[in-house]
Amino acid sequence: MREHIYEADALQIQTCIYSGSDVLLSADKELLNVVLRLGIKTVNAEDENKIKELLKHDHTSAGETCDNSLRY
């Protein structure tokens, strides 16, 4: 994939991948679109209901691997 992204965004993406995170949380819609195209689950930080849903899911499934194909 070839497209312009800022260095700070690239760092966030690489940190998410390297750390094995299940989701990237950001209010930057352009960054979220890039991350989705990379196959990483995203949550918009401005969407309070999705954040609550994510936290509830993580709390109820502690120790389970999150399905990365799920899109929020």
What digits encode the pLDDT tens for the residues 50-66? 999 988 876 555 444 44
Is 28's pLDDT higher than 90? yes
Q: Count of domains in the chain?
A: 1
Full residue range of the structural domain in which residue 23 is found = 7-60
The Cα–Cα gap between 10 and 6 comes to 6
The Cα–Cα gap between 66 and 5 comes to 27
Q: Is residue 20 part of a domain?
A: yes
Which pLDDT score is estimated for 54? 86
Decide if 45 contacts 28 (C-beta within 8 A): no
Lowest mean pLDDT among 16-20, 49-53, 68-72: 68-72
- Residue type at position 44: N
Angle at 70 between CA 54 and CA 33, to 5 degrees: 90
**Terminal-to-terminal C-alpha distance of the chain:** 22
Q: Is residue 45 part of a domain?
A: yes
- pLDDT confidence bin for 1, thresholds 50/70/90: low
Which pLDDT score is estimated for 55? 87
